Structure 1
Amino acid sequence: MRMPSHPLLRRLRQDQSGLALIEFAYSLPVLLALTLGGLEVANLAITHMKLSQLAMLVADNASRVRASIDEADINEIFSGAALSANGLNFAANGKIFLSDLEPNRQDAPNTGQYIRWQRCYGSGSFTSTYGTTSNGASDASMVDGMGPTNRKISAGNGTAVMFVEVAYKYQPLISNSIFGEKTIRYTSAFNVRERTDQAMKNAGNLSTSQTATCS
């Protein structure tokens, strides 16, 4: 014998008005994950673009300094770099290495390239991958120049190359759990244009704390 169905229970069993809401609740976590992941991918791509442009900007500007180069010129170049890296909090999380690469003028077998001087910007905990001041000055340890393997840059006789390495600890938009902790590095190099004196000058007698020496 069937018990009569209560009208309220019958209406609840037949009611489908909340179906769309339930489906949305199931799909919301997936939709949210895709949205946040997409935002993080976009942020990473923009960061790569900015850092690549930053390396080119510094190398290009350093190569354009005419006649001779001074500590004040370096400070101006890095001031421009700080503006270019706006939004990345680069000063705290990154570092720029600007190196003057030249032939070392040594006789064989010590003929090669050397870093005459190197200047830095940023307080990120990085060291240069390709060398520091005076590396290669008296030996052939930098005979092929600076840069990644099979893509090294060297300077011709009587000139110099401004070689820039940018290192940056990626700052996620959402969380490190998506890509993990990442260190991004870019390099760029420009031959000096009209400068014939490559030695670093300090016409303004700036103190060590006022210059961009690497520490």
Structure 2
Amino acid sequence: MRKPSLTFLRQLQRDQSGLALIEFAYSLPVLLALTLGGLEVANLAITHMKLSQLAMLVADNASRVRASIDEADINEIFSGAALSANGLNFAANGKIFLSDLESNKLDAPKTGQYIRWQRCYGSGNFTSTYGTTDNGKTDASLQAMGPTGNQIAATNGTAVMFVEVAYKYQPLISNSIFGEKTIRYTSAFNVRERTDQAMKNAGNLSTSQTAACS
């Protein structure tokens, strides 16, 4: 077997024709991780924005219903919420709690707040963090609703539409990047001009046709 000549070895040493391919092969895993991670970060940020706007939309729309509020009004509000949450598969992975929060002070000597009614949308396995219709009417267990340091209470003769949104985050790439996440947002609006806060059912909708939380 002939030994390679010195000239050939020098040519081989100076040959850089495959350098770019080798560098690309080494950098590809890093580039791929950064790209996928960036896409997941963007998806998470967009999801947070959508859920924050969803909570505000439902609370605002519920507060705008004038004169009195009906089960049909609630269904329309949640239909709008479903359109707003498009792309999140929210109905299967999330839940909206819409609560009518009122003051107990008109029923002296009771104090605090109570939830007159509560309606829900979505089949996500969540419970309200801040209360149900069992809280407050017969005692003073409910003083306000909302996260600590940012709570809200209704004044006499009016009501607050309090909304809590809970959602099991659906990753774009994989849960291994951020882990399983539950995202929650709240929003509250005082009712406009509505003096009758009781829930009506003028259309005689059945329980299955209403947005009851049970």
Inter-partner Cα distance in structure 2 for 1:135 and 1:106: 15
Secondary structure in 2 matching 1:181 = coil
Unaligned residue ranges in structure 1 (runs of 5+): none
Inter-partner Cα distance in structure 1 for 2:200 and 2:16: 80
Secondary structure in 1 matching 2:33 = helix
Q: Please report how far the alpha carbon of residue 79 of structure 1 lies from its aligned counterpart in structure 2 after TM superposition.
A: 0.0
Inter-partner Cα distance in structure 1 for 2:181 and 2:192: 35
Inter-partner Cα distance in structure 2 for 1:14 and 1:118: 77
Report % sequence identity. Answer: 88
Q: Please report how far the alpha carbon of residue 115 of structure 1 lies from its aligned counterpart in structure 2 after TM superposition.
A: 0.2
Residues 1-215 of structure 1 mapped to structure 2, 5 A cutoff:
5=5, 11-104=11-104, 105-108=106-109, 110-143=110-143, 145-215=144-214
| TM-score, length of structure 1 as denominator length | 0.94
Q: Please report how far the alpha carbon of residue 133 of structure 1 lies from its aligned counterpart in structure 2 after TM superposition.
A: 1.3
Secondary structure in 1 matching 2:30 = helix
Q: Aligned partner of 1:25: which letter?
A: A
Inter-partner Cα distance in structure 1 for 2:122 and 2:168: 12
Q: Deviations over 1:111-141 (max 9, x none)?
A: 1100000000000000000011131001110
Q: Please report how far the alpha carbon of residue 12 of structure 1 lies from its aligned counterpart in structure 2 after TM superposition.
A: 3.3
Q: Please report how far the alpha carbon of residue 52 of structure 1 lies from its aligned counterpart in structure 2 after TM superposition.
A: 0.2
Q: Aligned partner of 1:35: which letter?
A: T
Unaligned residue ranges in structure 2 (runs of 5+): none
Inter-partner Cα distance in structure 1 for 2:34 and 2:179: 17
Inter-partner Cα distance in structure 2 for 1:61 and 1:18: 63
Q: Please report how far the alpha carbon of residue 14 of structure 1 lies from its aligned counterpart in structure 2 after TM superposition.
A: 2.9
Q: Please report how far the alpha carbon of residue 150 of structure 1 lies from its aligned counterpart in structure 2 after TM superposition.
A: 1.9
Are the equivalent residues in 2 in contact too, given 1:106–1:139 (CA < 8 A)?
no
Secondary structure in 2 matching 1:127 = coil
RMSD: 1.4
Inter-partner Cα distance in structure 1 for 2:108 and 2:158: 18
Q: Please report how far the alpha carbon of residue 185 of structure 1 lies from its aligned counterpart in structure 2 after TM superposition.
A: 0.1
Corresponding pairs, count: 211
